[in-house]
Chains A and B, each alone.
Chain A
Amino acid sequence: MAVVSIKNKLRRGNLLVGNEAFIPTSYESIATGTVSAGNTSSVITFSSIPSTYTHLQLRMFARATASNTMFVRFNNDSGSTNYDNHRMNGNGTSVASDARINYSALFVSSRGYGIPSTANIGSAIVMDILDYTNTNKYKVTRTLSGQELNNSNSDIEFTSGSWKNTNAINRIDVSIDTSTLAQYTHIALYGIKGA
């Protein structure tokens, strides 16, 4: 199981000439998980996520060894009724919508096809996780995802998700249902600060 630790931040004791310019940022890279050439991974995990941001964003280029649905879970919660999903998608022929209510994960995939295993091609995914530390709200996600395979298995999707838990998110697991993440998969976690 691939585990990604949070990168240590470099702390400088002062702003003397010669040090890097201090540029306050609101969009920061937290950690990255990759599957290198020749390898596979059953899951990419981001743990010990700091609570100092307002929102999180996952940016993914994902491939699977066998095409199937991507699952995203928070705080190691795989309870069978703890997530809701609503999706609309276009497959080049028609637009459709479906839902998975009281499900065991947030899902990201092509309807009926899944994260691709085709050589050289992957799914592109941007998932926004809003107000992830708020202990009064369920956690809501907004995802834009798709893969273009130059055939009828191509798909573009909007997905709205909910983790029905008020705990702050401190861990995210990304996996493929009954399959593994394939080489060249790249998943990056970013934090966005509020004012």
Chain B
Amino acid sequence: MAVTYEPIATSTITGSTVASVTFSSIPSTYTDLVVVIQAKGTFAQDGIDVTFIFNGDNSGGNYSVVYMNGNGTTTNSGRNSAGIGYFSFVPAGNNTAGVYSANVHHIMNYANTTTYKTTLGKISFPGNQAGANVGLWRSTAAIGSIQLQISNGSQGYYETGSTLTIYGIKAA
């Protein structure tokens, strides 16, 4: 029996200067993708964005996201339409050692060539917030690569031990 939900690739950070991870040559044979990010950044601040760049498209005008979160005291909702895909948010260097995110991002119908690509994210940032977001990449191209960038080089790197995994889900 064909496997319906299977891992495509995993990247575990072992070096100290990895700012970006790219999953390329993603097969088009699945229906949805699921990206699991258990990560932390090294930059000296509380949290940091992990941005999604699809098919190398780093044009700031092609991505937008709306989010909501709660930090135990207040709730917040906002939008970002000025940058690349700010779809994930993880602990950074000011957090206790061993505190990593548990974020899950669904990318629906990623291989469809007639619609823009919509993502659903669940953000679990221990000690800081719980949240969710919906993102959009305004391109009808099938997604063949996903770059997960924690920094452009000026805001630190992935903490050693961070893991990023892509799964494929195949409908009947």
Contact = CB atoms under 8 A, between A and B. Distances in A.
The answer to whether A binds B is: yes
A124 interface: yes
Interface range on chain B (Cβ under 8 Å from partner): 35 or more
Contact of A145 (B68, B120, B136): B120
Contact of A154 (B3, B66, B109): B66
Contact of A122 (B79, B118, B172): B118
Interface in B24-74: 31-32, 64-70
Interface in A130-153: 144-150
A147 B119 CA distance: 9
Contacts of B22: none
A92 B77 contact: yes
A37 B113 CA distance: 12
Interface string B1-17: 11111000000000000
Nearest to B107: A124
A123 interface: yes
A148 B64 contact: yes
A90 B76 CA distance: 8
B170 to A, nearest CB: 6
Interface in B128-149: 132-136, 138, 140
A120 B114 contact: yes
Contacts of B120: 124-126, 144-146, 156
Nearest to A27: B5
Main secondary structure of the interface of A (DSSP, over half): strand
Nearest to A90: B68
Contacts of B140: 120
A172 interface: no
B172 A7 contact: yes
Interface stretch (A18-26, A67-75, A99-107): A18-26
Contact of A90 (B67, B122, B135): B67
A190 interface: yes
B97 interface: no
B40 to A, nearest CB: 24
24 contacts: A20-B1, A25-B1, A32-B31, A37-B114, A59-B106, A59-B108, A60-B108, A61-B112, A61-B115, A88-B68, A90-B69, A90-B132, A92-B78, A120-B115, A124-B106, A126-B120, A144-B132, A146-B134, A147-B134, A148-B64, A155-B66, A156-B133, A186-B31, A186-B108
Interface of B: 1-5, 31-32, 64-70, 75-79, 81, 106, 108-109, 112, 114-116, 118-120, 122, 132-136, 138, 140, 169-172
Given A59-B32, A122-B108, 9 more contacts: A20-B2, A32-B172, A59-B106, A61-B112, A122-B118, A124-B108, A156-B67, A156-B77, A186-B109
Interface of A: 7, 9-10, 20, 22-23, 25, 27-32, 37, 59-61, 88-95, 120-126, 144-150, 154-156, 158, 184, 186, 188, 190
